[in-house]
Copies of this chain bind each other. A is one copy, B any other.
Amino acid sequence: MTHSFAVTTVVGNPKRLSRTLTTAEALAAAVAGPGAGTASFDLAELYRDGIEPPHGGFEHALDRIRAAQVLVVGTPVYKAAYTGLLKLFLDQLPPAALEGTVAVPVTIAASAEHRHLADLQLRPVLAELGASLPVPSLALREDELPELDAHLAKWTGAHLPALAAAARAAEGAAA
């Protein structure tokens, strides 16, 4: 199946240039397909100088989210949930900002016991913003990251067809 989607990535790891960012961008590339436009926002960079981001930076991220068919949302699991940095950004989005957008969480946990916790808390938040969440999240442990390619291949094999169909349907519904 060939496909090409506009994919935007937002990552809420307080450490800039994190492995969460790398992982989320790798998933975004696999989802976008060849030749597709992607944009990626490292919130540790966006909020570096204060919790009110420079107006231009936030507006740019919001524009790219609105233009995206698929939004990849990356976070490490901190204190049994998604990070505050990610939520800080989501809190500033307008109501229903993600209507017509298909979202895919990417979460990285330090231990098996925390694998599902960010995902459990994040999905209701993204749903509140209007996002459609048609497929399971990519929820990895840190010690699985050296085999990221294999995990990505497994995830895309299982879920990319449904994700692509949902992205097309969302577009059709919004048109």
Contact = CB atoms under 8 A, between A and B. Distances in A.
Interface of A: 14, 44, 47-51, 78-91, 93, 111-117, 120-121, 123-125, 127-129, 132-136, 158, 161-162, 164-166, 168-170, 172-173
Name the prevailing secondary structure of the A interface residues: helix
Contacts of A120: 117, 120, 124
Contact of A162 (B115, B117, B123, B132): B132
A56 B72 CA distance: 36
A83 B89 CA distance: 10
A83 B90 CA distance: 9
Contact of A84 (B86, B127, B128): B86
Nearest to A165: B169
Contact of A165 (B84, B127, B128, B166): B166
